[in-house]
Chains A and B, each alone.
Chain A
């Protein structure tokens, strides 16, 4: 549109609308292409350890796995920079390895969500570990995963720590 030379006759409303629609079509079309191509790369599916057992995955697909950090499973290596642990939904478990700093609230027996890929050895190589909730709270996916595996025990109502709108993780 910025390229078009203004015609020197009076623009009719119809003609103006045509220009407008043309630019709108280009912008929206471009955005659609952007959205579709971006979705292909950045949609991450959430699975439970049980799902991992039952569903087949494409090789190298980035996924999120959620559940509880299995008690007694956390091992640190390489001077603490590499961590191995298991995520469980109390029916099935998956081994996870992660290099990096664990979030403040990472604890055995607590809810956790890990993002990464399943390696050839069946060990989940996490690139990100999320546990950014308070100690009484369970990530929604983890609660759903536990409900699915039939192991959900509703806890005492949590402390009602509900930050006001717009609060960050």
Chain B
């Protein structure tokens, strides 16, 4: 019964989305307040019904109602509650309902909180949101009904892929979706602005917090996914340039460029057309990401088995959003008045360079990800683009970006003084030089790694220099500097934190050049050395778990003859569905991780099990900094959201972020 209510609610939401897509547009064209207001009611109604549908689906998963096909195929009664809940979006149908839920939440937020927007703009934004809703609700109802009944109901479900039964992954998709779908607001605002025919600072002030909120969620989502891959997959790596990872990274790059160009629109009224284009592009890339993952066209190491009909549907939506958006852009953008002249050397110039480099970096990822699909489509053979491609193209483009990031924030708007900025960076340059010299002398590593570390230190010291300049550190009394620090605009503080955090991330990534790795076969009692640690395999025992049995190894870690830790890596065998997962044991000091994985038990020529196991050990210096850095980046974004101008200009906009996380 509850399932039918859920299905019915989805249909009602679809009808309301249709109303929302059309009526406010007519209202805005006729300046009819009642028709424009209907858009808000429709958006809030759509939100209500999608919440009902999502709650019904969640109910089916929590009570393990196996008469629902989706639950029977993806859940199991013996699963812990957390994974019953995360099972809702751990499958295709449910994840699309989550997608639409987040879309409706954002639409509802514009309807409920956008009272200070010009009424025609709000009506048009809601109409575009409605159109996106129509597309995706039709997709769910037509091809991916999550409430499909199964008769007769099986006595138990097939279970969720055990590799996904993990707290890190339980929250990875919702955050990723918050990011993807959050960019729909930027898209809707861009389309609405093109219909309106003008873009002003108020427009930018509205778009920026939404983009920022979406960006924070996407950053966190990508970071969670990477962290999960690191501890769960047992390869000791954190990023594999896998097509599915790239699918989430491309909108991130475009969204980051958008965040920065929106600042120029807001402060200087320049780069309007470019910002509109980026807003369209960012959401189109989010749709592309959805398409790539949901259609199964990618030859990825991921196990996605999907049917091509769904792929075609999303491809259709992607084409409509792209052609419609870009077509309208081509038609209307020339009439947008741009203002704000600036010299090449200026804050604007720096931000243009930022956009150029991020855009180019995005293009290299795009080509590397889609080229195999393109070749396959024209029948020219199957290829894969390996990790070396990305390190050879993406990384060199990031180097100038890191250099410019150290200087750009010190340039003033309109016309900057490069010589002045560089002279203020003298201390930063000296510290950077000394630090990299120390690294070369102490720890000679590959040249690219030393360049990476140097640039990261440059970025951090450069960013701190900018902060010191703002609070006039050492130029006035310490007390007055502290007062200045307290009264610093939140957005300035946010930039310092986010840029510095990127420096921390780069340090963490580059330090992997010094990682050590050991793969060997060990028998109990045997010892080995890695990075100054002595690791002894004490024993391997079989331990029963909640819905699996594990082979658990006991590894004694000693340093300088003193025992310091015990690691328990596991190999877990699940029965529902039958699968083996690897549980790495990690000992972190925040300066380095000691990472251990237990592999297969060895067998002799007759297939009899021997008392020896493969063991993989990694020592990864600074690796936790990658995720700590991303958390600080997100923190920077959140602080920027609380900036006074968002609270004053748009009273409650900043508060939508925490509210949008799905229950």
Interface residues of A (CB under 8 A from B): 1-2, 4-7, 10-11, 13, 16, 19-20, 23-24, 27-28, 30-31, 34-35, 37-39, 41-46, 64, 76, 79-81, 100-102, 104-105, 130, 132-137, 139-141, 144, 158-169
From known contacts A11-B343, A64-B384, A104-B582, infer whether A37 and B392 are also in contact, taking CB-CB under 8 Å: yes
B642 within 8 A of A: no
B637 within 8 A of A: no
> Distance (Å) between the CB of A100 and the closest chain B CB?
7
CB pair A79 B381 closer than 8 Å? no
Chain B residue at minimum C-beta to C-beta distance from A163: B164
Interface residues of B (CB under 8 A from A): 73-74, 89-92, 95, 158, 160-161, 163-164, 169, 172-173, 176-177, 221-222, 225, 228-229, 232-233, 240, 242, 244-245, 247-248, 289-290, 293-294, 296, 299-306, 341-346, 349, 352-353, 356-357, 360, 363-364, 367-368, 371, 381-389, 392-393, 396-397, 404, 407, 415-416, 418, 519, 521, 571, 577-582, 599-600, 602-603, 612, 614, 616
Residue from A11, A24, A30, A161 in contact with B303 in the complex, judged by beta carbons closer than 8 Å: A161
> Distance (Å) between the CB of A169 and the closest chain B CB?
4
CB pair A104 B581 closer than 8 Å? yes
Report how far A2 CA is from B349 CA in the complex, Å: 9
Report how far A141 CA is from B454 CA in the complex, Å: 42
The 10 A-B residue pairs with the shortest CB-CB distance, nearest first, are A164-B173, A169-B301, A46-B382, A38-B392, A42-B389, A168-B229, A42-B388, A161-B161, A165-B293, A160-B73
CB pair A34 B161 closer than 8 Å? no
CB pair A44 B386 closer than 8 Å? yes
A/B interface sample: 29 pairs, CB < 8 A: A2-B418, A13-B341, A23-B352, A34-B364, A38-B392, A39-B385, A39-B389, A42-B385, A42-B387, A43-B389, A45-B383, A100-B519, A104-B581, A132-B303, A134-B303, A137-B305, A159-B73, A159-B577, A162-B306, A163-B164, A164-B91, A164-B95, A166-B173, A166-B244, A166-B247, A168-B225, A168-B240, A169-B300, A169-B302
CB pair A41 B388 closer than 8 Å? yes
Report how far A102 CA is from B519 CA in the complex, Å: 11
Residue from B164, B248, B393, B616 in contact with A34 in the complex, judged by beta carbons closer than 8 Å: B393
Q: What is the total of A-B residue contacts with beta carbons within 8 Å?
A: 227
Chain B residue at minimum C-beta to C-beta distance from A55: B381
CB pair A163 B303 closer than 8 Å? yes
Report how far A46 CA is from B372 CA in the complex, Å: 11
From known contacts A16-B344, A80-B602, infer whether A165 and B383 are also in contact, taking CB-CB under 8 Å: no
Report how far A30 CA is from B521 CA in the complex, Å: 46
Report how far A42 CA is from B367 CA in the complex, Å: 13
Chain B residue at minimum C-beta to C-beta distance from A13: B341
Given A39-B385, A101-B519, A104-B582, 18 new contacts (CB under 8 A): A27-B356, A34-B364, A34-B392, A34-B396, A35-B364, A35-B393, A42-B387, A42-B389, A43-B384, A43-B386, A45-B383, A81-B521, A134-B579, A159-B577, A160-B91, A160-B305, A166-B247, A168-B233
CB pair B158 A160 closer than 8 Å? yes
CB pair A20 B173 closer than 8 Å? no
CB pair A31 B342 closer than 8 Å? no
The A contact surface, by secondary structure, is loop
CB pair A166 B172 closer than 8 Å? yes
Residues from chain A with a CB closer than 8 A to the CB of B290 are 165
Report how far A100 CA is from B353 CA in the complex, Å: 45
Residues from chain B with a CB closer than 8 A to the CB of A80 are 521, 602-603, 612, 614
Chain B residue at minimum C-beta to C-beta distance from A136: B577
Residues from chain B with a CB closer than 8 A to the CB of A5 are 345, 418
CB pair A31 B344 closer than 8 Å? no
Residues from chain B with a CB closer than 8 A to the CB of A35 are 364, 367-368, 393
